[in-house]
Amino acid sequence: MTNSLWLTRARSLAVVLALLPAWSVAHEGHDDEAPVAAGAGMLPRFTAVSDAFELVGVLDGQRLSLYLDHAADNRPAEGARLDLEINGRPVALSQSGGDGRFEALLPEPLPEGEAAVAAVVAVGAANDVLAGTLDIHGHAESGPESAGSPWRTRAPWIAGAVLALVLAAVALRRRAGAGRRTAIGGAA
C-alpha cells in the first residue's frame, strides 16, 4: 500500500472515529430519562404504584401537588377519595378539579432525607393502599453536578479526539519513516 493511500485511509478513519460520539447521542424519542430523585432544577417527588392506581407527588417548598391515575391506562382517577400520610402524620388534602389532582399545604417544611408516604385510595368500589418514599435533598446537592458527572457526557468526545490524535501521529510517523527509507534506498 502506498503512503498516500495509507494516509488517506488513516485520515478517513480518524474522521469517522472523531464523529462516532456524535452518532451515539440519543435522538428524538430516545432521550435519557430524567432521574426521579431531585436533581438540577427538579423538585422532590415520589411515585407510589399498585396494580390499580399510580400516585405521583411533587413537593415545592411546603406545597405538595398530587396526581392520581389508573395504572392500566394512565387515565386520571376522577371522583377519587384520597387520604395521605407523610411519616405517619395525616396530611389535609383538597381536590383540584376532581380529575385525580390534589393539593396540600404542609404546616412546616419537611426535613432533609427520606419521608415515608402512605395513601389510601377509593374510587367507586375500588380501594387500594399505596406506599412510596419522598426523597428530599438540600440545596447543596442541586445543580448540574447532581444530574450526572460532566465526564459522562464529555468522555466519548474526549476519547474520540484522543484516538484521532493518536491515529494522526501514527500516520505522520509512518510518513516520516517512509521518507527516510526512500532517501536511504536511493543512495545505495
Residue 90 has pLDDT above 90, yes or no: yes
Spatial strand order of the sheet with 101-105 comes to 45-49, 53-60, 63-70, 101-105, 94-95
C-alpha cell at 172: 505522520
Model confidence at 10, pLDDT cuts 50, 70, 90, reads: low
> Which one has a higher pLDDT value, 25 or 184?
184
The helix (H) or strand (E) run that includes residue 47 is strand 45-49
Mean pLDDT lowest among 36-40, 58-62, 179-183: 36-40
Residue 93 has pLDDT above 60, yes or no: yes
What's the confidence (pLDDT) of residue 28?
Answer: 47
Residue 44 has pLDDT above 50, yes or no: yes
Whether 130 contacts 121, CB under 8 Å: yes
Q: Tell me the pTM.
A: 0.54
Residue 81 has pLDDT above 70, yes or no: yes
Average predicted confidence (pLDDT) for the chain: 76
What's the confidence (pLDDT) of residue 156?
Answer: 72
Q: Which residues have CB under 8 Å from 34's CB, separation 6+? A: 42
Cα dihedral sign, 50-55-56-62: negative
Centre a 10 Å sphere on the Cβ of residue 54 and count the other Cβ atoms it contains: 19
